[in-house]
Amino acid sequence: MKEIERHFTRLLASRLREQLNFIQVVVGPRQVGKTTGLQQIVARWEGPSLMVTADEIVTPDREWIAVHWEKARRMGDGVLLVIDEVQKIPHWSSVIKHMFDQDRKSKRLKVVLLGSASLSLQRGLGESLAGRYEVITADHWDLGECREAFGWGLDEFLKFGGYPAAALLCHDVPRWQKYLRDSIIEPVLIKDILGLSSVQKPALFRQTFELAMAYPAQEVSLQKLLGQLQETGNVNTIKHYLDLLQGAFLIRTLHKYSGSEVRTRASSPKLVPLNNALVHAFRSPEEVDANPQWYGRVFEAAVGAALLRSSGQVYYWREGKFEVDFVVELRGKIYAIEVKSSASGTLRGLERFVQRHPGCIPLVVDREKAIKLLESPNSDDYLLTAGLR
């Protein structure tokens, strides 16, 4: 596999060269190259550096942070201090605040924090570090990065998603699926969610995740979802579990666009896996070739995941039998997006939405346009450029 420099790595390197001194917080899913990206930066760093991880068998305590921080201080000026999986340490944010405030004016240290469990990290940031940090998201790999590293086209991307280590095994599908379940999905569920959050029914939680993967880019009634689970629960429990899965960068739940926040939140969500590999860990990727309906689902899911990398708000829309796959609110504009994986089908839903919202920008994303979107590291640029045509 060709080693590449990911988009977030270039952005982080640029920020670390600035005179401004904020803690840089890199968040994102497991196994997408956060640690590798930081190692690339450390290797090129002109001054001293220290990179440590809290992802150990025995979880470190707050004193562990203070010890390494003091060690970095003794290395001189211009030190780069990187702490990986910091959210695993109880009450980490208070000691980070104390140490950083002591050094902030002198600008002796550049500090980078890495984390995989977004909800746990966000809680810590909100508790103590307001005004002291910037967040950079290391997303799942896009098609452009997979093409550069593995020589993949769209079809391979739809089947195997974008986990770089797993990509080396895609020639052996059963082995690839087992690796995904054992080495990627299981650590996320066990370490990042069950280990850091309150989940009263772990078996029900796992079933919720697997069932969510079975409905990529589909609108699903939570009551219907609940009825398909083997263990008893309630709708609020399922909502909570879906929130946890979002916090671990596995899925996003989209709500119906209506112009009313109350009605939007009350809608049945549309489930969008953020990496197609997660879907095909439980279902044969060969169905992409054999089943046109399934191809359409994973194609739409990949487009949805790409749109979710934008800085806008993403929804879906339905009015009776009329629907639009995605609606994006971005910089004061509304983009209505219909995904077309084949030449069949109509655009009646898009036409109805334009009637309801005459100021919107309608876009039809076919295979050719999807490739451009999926290769784009910045969905904002793609949408804004498309809206000018």
Residues 43 and 58 placed together within one structural domain of the fold:
yes
Shared domain for 153 and 227, answered yes or no, is: yes
In a domain, 2, yes or no: no
Interacting residues of 71 by C-beta distance below 8 A, sequence separation 6+:
50
Written as six digits, the tokens of 292 are 């046109």
- Beta strands 313-319; 109-115: pairing state: unpaired
In a domain, 295, yes or no: yes
How far is residue 304's CA from residue 300's CA, in Å, rounded to a whole number? 6
CA distances from 202 to 121, 209, 313 (A): 21, 11, 31
Query: Cβ distance 142 to 375 under 8 Å?
Result: yes
From 104, 137, 170, the end of a domain falls on 137
Same domain, 71 and 205: no
Same domain, yes or no: 247 and 289: yes
- 91 is written with which tokens? 């009450």
- Do residues 105 and 147 share a domain? no
Is residue 303 classed exposed, middle or buried when 0-12, 13-18 and 19+ CB atoms within 10 A define those classes?
A: buried
Same domain, residue pair 191 and 330:
yes
At 209 the three-state DSSP class reads helix
pLDDT at 15 over 80: yes
| Distance separating alpha carbons of residues 65 and 61, to the nearest angstrom | 7
Residue 388, pLDDT > 60, answer no
Domain-ending residue, one of 90, 109, 137: 137
Above 90 in pLDDT, residue 385?
no
Q: Residue 245 — very low, low, confident or very high, per pLDDT cuts 50/70/90?
A: very high
> What is the token pair recorded at 128?
């103590």
**Domain stops at, among 111, 137, 163:** 137
* Domain CATH code at residue 120: 3.40.50.300
Q: What is the pLDDT of residues 332-368, one digit of tens each?
A: 999 999 999 887 778 899 999 999 999 999 999 999 9
pLDDT at 264: 57
Quick one: 42 and 178 in the same domain? no
Q: Is the pLDDT of residue 255 over 80?
A: yes
Q: What is the pLDDT of residues 143-168, one digit of tens each?
A: 999 999 999 999 999 999 989 999 99
48 shares a domain with 171: no
Q: Answer yes or no: is 16 within a domain.
A: yes
Higher per-residue confidence, 118 vs 166: 166
What pTM value is reported for the model? 0.89
Mean pLDDT of 42-64: 88
Element (H, E) at 363: strand 361-365
Q: Report the C-alpha gap between 372 and 350 in whole angstroms.
A: 21
Q: Where does residue 145 rank: exposed (0-12), middle (13-18), buried (19+ CB within 10 A)?
A: buried
Q: Is residue 285 one of the residues assigned to a domain?
A: yes
Q: Which residues make beta-bridge pairs with 162?
A: none
Higher-confidence residue of 228 and 355: namely 355
Judge if 172 and 260 occupy the same domain: yes
228: tokens are: 């398909």
Confidence of residue 117 (pLDDT cuts 50, 70, 90): low
How far is 337 from 252, CA to CA, in rounded Å? 17
Distance in angstroms between the alpha carbons of the first and the last residue of the chain: 37
- Supply the DSSP string of 98-135, one letter for each residue: HHHHHHTTTT-EEEEEEES-HHHHHHHHHHH-TTSEEE
Do 285 and 356 belong together in one domain? yes
Quickly list H helices, the chain: 7-16, 34-44, 62-73, 92-103, 118-128, 143-150, 154-160, 164-167, 173-179, 186-187, 202-213, 222-227, 235-247, 261-265, 276-280, 287-290, 292-307, 348-356, 367-375, 379-386
Look at 47 and 234; give whichever has higher pLDDT.
Answer: 47
Q: Cα–Cα distance between 262 and 298 in angstroms, integer?
A: 30
Do 81 and 181 belong together in one domain?
Answer: no
CA distances from 15 to 38, 79, 106, 118, 133 (A): 13, 15, 17, 21, 12
- φ/ψ region of 161 (left if φ > 0, alpha if ψ in -120 to 50, else beta) reads left
Confidence of residue 262 (pLDDT cuts 50, 70, 90): very low
In the DSSP assignment, the letter for residue 140 is: P
| Domain residue limits at 117 | 7-137
Same domain for 195 and 111: no
Q: Is a pLDDT exceeding 80 seen at residue 57? A: no
Domain assignment present for residue 96? The answer is yes
Indicate whether 33 belongs to any domain.
yes
Q: Count up the domains in the chain and report the number.
A: 2
Q: Is residue 210 one of the residues assigned to a domain?
A: yes
Taken as a whole, the chain contains a residue count of: 389
Q: Give the model's pLDDT for residue 130.
A: 86
